[in-house]
């Protein structure tokens, strides 16, 4: 099938997803089943924006109630998985080079405010009217069966006009009562699209806040919405602006009394947004939401910070790190401003996870950012000319090995140790000093010695230390013990 909508869909998506889409559509045509493009992608097509994903729904024939699953199974290429999400035929095709969701038209109702909805099979109209905002209650018939007797755009709530005037509008008064997480969707979507919340919707939101609807939603659900908010920063959303909307709507205070958006956090959150969109240094394990909460809550008082984390069901070590982040940040900023040499910066930042590192980066003044950046881009992954195995082979044992390695790394990054021989000489000196000093409490002594200056004759810091591969002597014994930790 051809047409401007399908052309736009095919232009906007990854080839693997387009292939799945074409296969599902071909199957819908073969079975004469009504298939629609619905929700966010329709809105984005009307706005001329690139598509982020595809939402497809099937209005099944009476004799074929599980058509969505049937389409997905027939369309899935060899090796792909078809994962069924619920008994109403919401399925996901997961292929090597893309995934696609296909749902069945449904009706939703809420047993009580803030509860997860009860889902039943419904009609296309039910499916559109269960949604949050008019601009999402739009469908484009895709297959021949769907187009039969239908307009090119199905728009029961005036979504097209609201897309044109840049408005997010709920279309039943209890929408925010039913699902208060829609407030976070409104902030996120509004900021992403540059849309404002209609006056009536703001009143409805105020009513829901006043009625205490927000306390009925679980911490896990709220946290997931914040995850999406900070994830969206990767696509250019400014988290500070989205949080500011929530503060203005009194949503933050409804989540946790006293919680707000302190003005001191705003520049850092903005920079965080930019850093998530264009990472200044590689952060393979970064969870944007964890960095986001650390940066935002760093300027909130300690009690609110703890309570907010509890409210968002953030627990364990991660919660503790976010609680303690302000103190760490202040210490790091001070040290970044005063540290002498690259080794000291490495000792400061070396043990930090990606989230705290980025959090410190966004709060640092320009000079501190430059130092942090140089460490993250150049020094972080460099390895000194010896490993723990080398030191053991040289006769060191116990906690002295760790202490000596730390001291060697520091001296090497400062350009005071260049070669393997120098590093081993320094390690031996540390070993000897420790042996003399505190045979009974080696751990404490080892720590102290790691931080002390060495008396072994170190070369003056000059050029940065060469890369490890060029430092290693070609055939230094014992080769067996040399390499395991090096790469
Ligand atoms: N929806 C809703 N209430 C929610 C979550 C979702 O009404 N709490 C509806 C929305 O109308 C949306 C649809 O379910 O169109 C699918 O949700 P999702 O994929 O999260 O929305 P998109 O608009 O596609 O969001 P995005 O552009 O971020 O993918």
**What is the rounded distance in angstroms from the CA atom of residue 358 to the CA atom of residue 372?**
9
40 CA distance to ligand 1 centroid (A)? 7
Among 272, 265, 275, 277, CA closest to 292: 272
Number of CB atoms found within 10 A of residue 124's CB:
20
Phi, psi of 82 (to 5 degrees): -115, 115
**Which residues have CB under 8 Å from 162's CB, separation 6+?**
133, 134, 135, 168, 169, 198
Atom of ligand 1 nearest to the CA of 44: 27
Residue 307 confidence (pLDDT): 98
Enumerate domains of the chain plus CATH numbers.
Answer: 4-165 (3.30.460.10), 201-379 (1.10.3090.10), 388-481 (no CATH)
Q: Exposed, middle or buried: residue 451 (CB in 10 Å: 0-12, 13-18, 19+)?
A: exposed
306 CA distance to ligand 1 centroid (A)? 30
**84 in helix, strand or coil?**
strand
H helices of 278-380, where? 288-297, 302-311, 316-338, 342-349, 354-363, 366-374
Residue 62 confidence (pLDDT): 82
Atom of ligand 1 nearest to the CA of 232: 28
Number of CB atoms found within 10 A of residue 100's CB:
26
295 CA distance to ligand 1 centroid (A)? 27
Atom of ligand 1 nearest to the CA of 132: 7
**37 in helix, strand or coil?**
strand
Residue 121 confidence (pLDDT): 86
198 CA distance to ligand 1 centroid (A)? 18
Beta bridge partners of 80: none
Atom of ligand 1 nearest to the CA of 182: 8
Helix pair 316-338, 366-374: axis angle to 10 deg: 110
- Looking from the CA of 181 toward its CB, the CA atoms found within 13 Å total 20
**What is the rounded distance in angstroms from the CA atom of residue 131 to the CA atom of residue 172?**
10
Q: Is the dihedral of CA 5, 8, 9, 15 positive or negative?
A: positive
DSSP element (H, E) containing 119: strand 118-121
pLDDT per residue as tens digits for the range 61-113: 888 777 888 899 999 999 999 998 877 678 999 999 889 999 999 998 888 88
For strands 118-121 and 106-109, give the pairing.
Answer: antiparallel
**Which residues have CB under 8 Å from 343's CB, separation 6+?**
409, 410, 411, 412, 413, 414
Number of CB atoms found within 10 A of residue 400's CB:
26
Helix pair 288-297, 239-248: axis angle to 10 deg: 60
Residue 441 confidence (pLDDT): 57
How far, CA to CA in Å, does 243 sit from each of 217, 222, 264, 361, 372? Answer: 19, 14, 13, 20, 27
133 CA distance to ligand 1 centroid (A)? 9
Instruction: Please name the residue whose Cα sits nearest to atom 21 of ligand 1.
Output: 40
- Model pTM? 0.86
Residue 445 confidence (pLDDT): 52
**What is the rounded distance in angstroms from the CA atom of residue 71 to the CA atom of residue 103?**
10
Pocket of ligand 1 (CB under 6 A): 39-40, 52-53, 55, 131-132, 136, 179, 181-182, 185
Low-confidence ranges of the chain (pLDDT < 70): 1-2, 88, 437-487
Instruction: Please name the residue whose Cα sits nearest to atom 22 of ligand 1.
Output: 40
DSSP element (H, E) containing 484: none
**What is the rounded distance in angstroms from the CA atom of residue 244 to the CA atom of residue 230?**
14
């Amino acid at each position: 099938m051809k047409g401007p909508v399908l052309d736009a869909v095919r232009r906007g998506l990854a080839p693997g997803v387009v292939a799945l889409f074409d296969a599902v559509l071909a199957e819908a045509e073969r079975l004469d089943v009504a298939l629609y493009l619905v929700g966010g992608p329709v809105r984005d097509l009307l706005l001329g924006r690139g598509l982020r994903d595809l939402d497809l729904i099937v209005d099944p024939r009476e004799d074929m109630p599980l058509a969505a699953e049937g389409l997905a199974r027939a369309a899935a290429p060899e090796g792909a998985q078809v994962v069924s999400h619920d008994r109403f035929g919401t399925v996901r095709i997961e292929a090597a080079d893309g995934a696609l969701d296909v749902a069945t038209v449904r009706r939703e109702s809420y047993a009580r405010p803030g509860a997860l909805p009860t889902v039943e099979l419904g009609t296309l109209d039910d499916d559109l009217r269960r949604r949050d905002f008019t601009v999402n209650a739009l469908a484009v018939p895709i297959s021949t069966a769907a187009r039969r007797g239908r307009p090119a755009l199905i728009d029961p709530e005036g979504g097209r006009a609201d897309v044109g005037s840049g408005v997010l509008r709920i279309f039943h008064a209890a929408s925010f009562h039913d699902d208060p997480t829609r407030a976070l969707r409104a902030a996120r979507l509004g900021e992403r699209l540059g849309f404002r919340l209609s006056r009536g919707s703001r009143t409805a939101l105020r009513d829901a806040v006043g009625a205490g609807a927000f306390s009925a939603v679980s911490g896990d659900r709220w946290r997931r919405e914040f995850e999406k908010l900070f994830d969206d920063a990767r696509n250019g959303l400014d988290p500070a602006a989205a949080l500011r909307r929530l503060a203005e709507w009194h949503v933050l205070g409804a989540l946790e009394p006293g919680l707000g958006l302190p003005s001191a956090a705003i520049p850092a959150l903005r920079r965080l947004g930019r850093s998530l969109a264009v990472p200044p240094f590689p952060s393979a394990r970064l969870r944007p939401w964890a960095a986001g909460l650390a940066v935002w809550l760093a300027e909130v008082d300690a009690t609110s910070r703890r309570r907010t984390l509890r409210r968002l069901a953030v627990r364990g070590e991660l919660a503790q790190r976010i609680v303690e982040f302000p103190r760490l940040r202040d210490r790091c900023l001070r040290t970044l401003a005063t540290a002498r040499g690259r080794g000291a910066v490495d000792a400061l930042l070396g043990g930090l996870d990606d989230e705290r590192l980025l959090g410190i980066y966004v709060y640092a003044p320009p000079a501190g950012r430059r130092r942090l950046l140089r460490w993250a881009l150049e020094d972080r992954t460099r390895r000194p000319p010896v490993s723990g195995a080398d030191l053991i082979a040289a006769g060191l044992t116990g906690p002295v090995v760790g202490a000596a390695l730390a001291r060697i790394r520091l001296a090497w990054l400062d350009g005071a140790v260049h070669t393997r021989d120098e590093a081993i000489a320094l390690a031996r000196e540390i070993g000897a000093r420790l042996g003399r000093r505190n045979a009974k409490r080696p751990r404490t002594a080892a720590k102290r010695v790691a931080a002390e200056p060495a008396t072994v004759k170190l070369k003056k810091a000059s050029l940065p230390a060469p890369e490890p591969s060029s430092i290693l002597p070609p055939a230094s014994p014992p080769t067996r013990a040399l390499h395991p930790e090096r790469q």
